Amino acid sequence: MRVRHFLALFLAAAFLAAGLHDAAQAQSQTEPRRGVQQQKKADPKRSARPRPDQTTQLNAMFEALKLAPDAQIARQIEGRIEAALARSGSATADLLMTRARSRIEAKDYDLSVTLLDSLIELHPNFTEAYAQRAHVHHLKKDIGRALADLRVVVAREPRHYTALVGLGVIFQDIGEEKRAVDAFRRAVAVNPQIRSIPELIKKLQIKVEGRDI
């Protein structure tokens, strides 16, 4: 148990240090490259698929999340994972995502869906765009489209615990408690420190065990 705790602490500290290093490096490179970047035109067809180095980092972060000894460390690692998933590698995609999120916060769901539709059309490999659109579809009570987008997300990134929770919530809403429990369990397997879900699983298990499902 001590070895597990030490490993999780070490990995979490390493990721936080890496984040500070990346930020410092990006800042140091901003000024020399600014003139060049201003001359380049955005390529709307640039792929938003995760780069090999990003994939390696995500793999390590998800492993650290699984080993996190407490909720505080898990929250720090979650933040790093979510930031990595939100990086598209395209300035155009990032701008559209920022605008879509601002419209979601303003509860302008129709415009946010329009922006996310455009983002996905331009960058179909950007998985997080599907996750955000699924969230908006769910807010609009469009369960069919929300499920479709969440299934895309989970198929591409089976460790996307927020998408798994989203699936569980929808299955629970439509009375599919067994499928909800399965989705929630998959989320907990990825992120054991995830908030509220273990308790929800226990409640749903009582309902499921009392039925012939």
Query: Over 60: is that where the pLDDT of 46 sits?
Result: no
Phi, psi of 18 (to 5 degrees): -65, -35
Q: How confident is the model at residue 120 (pLDDT cuts 50, 70, 90)?
A: very high
Domain interval for residue 105? 90-157
Assigned domain for 162 exists: no
CA 105 to chain CA centroid, nearest Å: 17
Assigned domain for 143 exists: yes
Q: How confident is the model at residue 142 (pLDDT cuts 50, 70, 90)?
A: very high
Helix (H) or strand (E) holding 188: helix 177-190
Residue 111 CB partners (closer than 8 Å, separation 6+)? 103
pTM of the complete model:
0.76
Q: What is the CATH number of the domain that holds 103?
A: 1.25.40.10
Mean pLDDT of 31-50: 44
C-alpha span between 207 and 186 (Å, rounded) = 19
Assigned domain for 110 exists: yes
For residues 126 and 3, the model is more confident at 126
Residues 97 and 132: beta-carbon distance below 8 Å: yes
Q: Structurally, how many domains does the chain consist of?
A: 1
Which two three-digit tokens encode residue 172?
A: 């629970």
Q: What's the pLDDT score for residue 115?
A: 97
